[in-house]
A and B are shown apart, each in its own frame.
Chain A
Amino acid sequence: MKIKAREGFLGALAVLLGCLVLFPLFYGVMGAFKSPAEFVAWPPTVFPRSFGYLKNFETVFTQLPMLRYFWNTLVVSVFSTVIKLVIALLAAYAFVFFDFAGKKALFFLLLGTMMLPPDTLTITNYQTVSHLGLLDTYLGIGIVSFVGASQMFMLRQHFLSSPKPIREAAQMDGCGDLRFIAFILTPMSLPLLLTLFLQAFVIQWNAYLWPLLVTNTNEMRTVQIGITMLTTVEGTNYETVLAGAAVALIPAVLLFLFLRKSITRTMSGGAIVG
């Protein structure tokens, strides 16, 4: 009986702490429903007077081409994540199913990319992308995230655990490498690929500094940059800013709530690699 009571208390405490952690988000979403008058009124409140005031959300989409920003971010996040995974999968395939000179060195060369923090490389990468004429393009935004060393590592671990005879049998039947990858290896790794896709997608969706650097024109911005521009358009409209922040959160948070298990599954595995 005593143990049960304590267990109940610990559970309640954990939920309470969860509420505390999520409070800023809650505050932000609530604030998005306030009118400007409510915002400047004293004392400050958490809850809006009603949830019927939707003008802030309207402003988010009319003040800036926010729908276009959503589309930009979606396109960049999907295509760069897909390319990242395809590239990682091909590399993992080479490391698992072939023996070749320099294998170990190349493996560590690729894993070594994780040691160099991308933020220290932004200025020089900006010069490269600018020379390639890729400023203000989807490719320019996505190209620096094509290298996924941790994704490559996890796919390699996964392939290593696959039964060896599969590929030999496939080869015996005259199945080439690309067909083997497309029709056997990929379907076999689908759950892992989905997990890796979701993680990389969310990271790309939330990216800020790089998209800010390489986009100059108004139409090419991404959502994350768009919402920070709401502050500068006409002074600071706190309620509009909060509505923007809330809207930008929706896709990643929804993905997380529905697919939490698959988004978080390989995290601890990836952590060991570093």
Chain B
Amino acid sequence: MSRSIASPKRGFSLKPYLFLLPMLAFAVGFVYYPFLKTCLQSVSTVNFRGEITGFSGLDNFQYLFSRREFSIALENTVKLMVINVPVTVVVTLALAWLCSNPHPLHSVYETMLSLPMVVSMASISLIFKVLLNPSVGWLNYAFGLNIGWYEDRHTAMSGILLLTVWMGIGFNFLLFLSAFRALPKDMLGSAALDGAGKFRTLLQIQLPLISPTVLYVVCTNMIQAMMTNGPILILTQGGPSRSTTTLIYLMYTSGYASSNYSLAAAVSMAAFGLTLLFSILLFMAEKRKVHYQ
């Protein structure tokens, strides 16, 4: 590492390792060790106490992939990701763009639009549960809808999506807002002088310049969508008739509720592999398009 302000001293010293020790210990103990153990358990037979009793090759995966439960969970998870990510990006990008100009009210609407980031998943899930309730909730009544939301297998996922998009607003809005604000003012000014309209400036100048932030938001939201489990646990328990079972929810039910650890490990490896695959694809696709300043 070239960037360091260490004093050039010769000789071996144990000191820096001691300072690193606590963080290394916890990183190994609670991140790398469980990861390796998950890898290992996914190719082993594991008893109910979580002890590995033998090597089973790809049996767990074969069993997993042959189960209808898994293909449903996979489909639901991908569906969630494919809808949630673009919607979140477009909504928060539009909000941030709208708010990026200086305005006397800016701290008011910035506070309002970024507040969702401190709202707990449990609280907002419960509020949505009531708001979208077909008999006592206000939403159906106000818009004259007749939708069962979380109680109907055709609409439960839409209800979950509504909620996950809402939960993503605050943080992503803030990221896009600071990306817009960091753009050099004179560049936008000269674009305006050249007669470029607001939308042309956005599409041809601002968006390419903030593309690293866009890529970051797409990546983090993709992983988050892939990991969706909290609202499912609270609102639908994967139902009705498995319509909202996601991969991590499946991992939770097979690992924690039924102590089938090898199956849970296989599900979690599948979720991890998918995340990795999508990230790699995304980076390959964006490699030439993203503009790093």
Judged by a CB distance under 8 angstroms, whether A187 is at the interface is no
Q: When the two chains form the complex, which single residue of A21, A99, A238 contacts B136, counting CB atoms closer than 8 Å?
A: A238
Judged by a CB distance under 8 angstroms, whether B90 is at the interface is no
Judged by a CB distance under 8 angstroms, whether B30 is at the interface is yes
Contact B123 A43 (CB under 8 A): no
Q: Would you list 24 pairs from A and B whose C-beta atoms are within 8 A, ordered by A residue?
A: A10-B98, A91-B20, A91-B23, A96-B6, A98-B15, A110-B24, A113-B27, A117-B271, A118-B31, A123-B261, A124-B34, A127-B50, A147-B31, A159-B5, A208-B122, A208-B233, A224-B122, A224-B123, A228-B125, A238-B136, A242-B127, A256-B117, A263-B118, A268-B182
Contacting A at CB under 8 A, from B91-138, are 95, 98-99, 101, 103-106, 108-131, 133, 136-138
How many residue pairs between the two chains, A and B, have CB atoms under 8 Å in the bound complex?
306
Contact A120 B122 (CB under 8 A): no
List 17 additional contacts besides A87-B26, A248-B120; criterion CB under 8 Å. A44-B141, A86-B22, A95-B4, A97-B7, A98-B19, A99-B6, A100-B13, A100-B16, A113-B31, A117-B271, A123-B252, A124-B33, A143-B26, A209-B252, A212-B233, A245-B127, A271-B216
Question: B182-199 vs A: 1/0 string, CB under 8 Å?
Answer: 100000000000000000
Q: A194: which B residues are within 8 A, CB to CB?
A: none
Q: A125: which B residues are within 8 A, CB to CB?
A: 30, 34
Q: Measured between alpha carbons, how far is A17 from B144 in the docked complex, in Å?
A: 22
Stretch at the interface among B61-69, B80-88, B170-178, B200-208: B170-178
Q: When the two chains form the complex, which single residue of B23, B118, B119, B212 contacts A272, counting CB atoms closer than 8 Å?
A: B212
Contact A245 B126 (CB under 8 A): yes
Contact B6 A144 (CB under 8 A): no
Contact B5 A21 (CB under 8 A): no
Q: When the two chains form the complex, which single residue of A15, A39, A255, A271 contacts B118, counting CB atoms closer than 8 Å?
A: A255
Q: When the two chains form the complex, which single residue of A177, A252, A257, A267 contacts B111, counting CB atoms closer than 8 Å?
A: A257
Contacting B at CB under 8 A, from A5-19, are 7, 10-11, 13-15, 17-19
Q: Which interface class (under 10, 10 to 19, 20 to 34, 35 or more) fits A?
A: 35 or more
Contact A18 B136 (CB under 8 A): no
The 10 closest A-B pairs by CB, nearest first: A18-B112, A28-B127, A206-B120, A124-B34, A98-B16, A94-B19, A268-B178, A123-B255, A127-B50, A14-B109
Judged by a CB distance under 8 angstroms, whether A93 is at the interface is yes
Q: B133: which A residues are within 8 A, CB to CB?
A: 238
In chain B, what residue has the closest Cβ to A168?
A: B7
Q: B129: which A residues are within 8 A, CB to CB?
A: 231, 241
Q: B178: which A residues are within 8 A, CB to CB?
A: 267-268
In the complex with contacts A99-B4, A272-B216, A152-B256 CB distance below 8 A: no
In the complex with contacts A96-B4, A225-B122, A253-B115 CB distance below 8 A: yes
CB B128 to nearest CB in A, in angstroms, measures 6
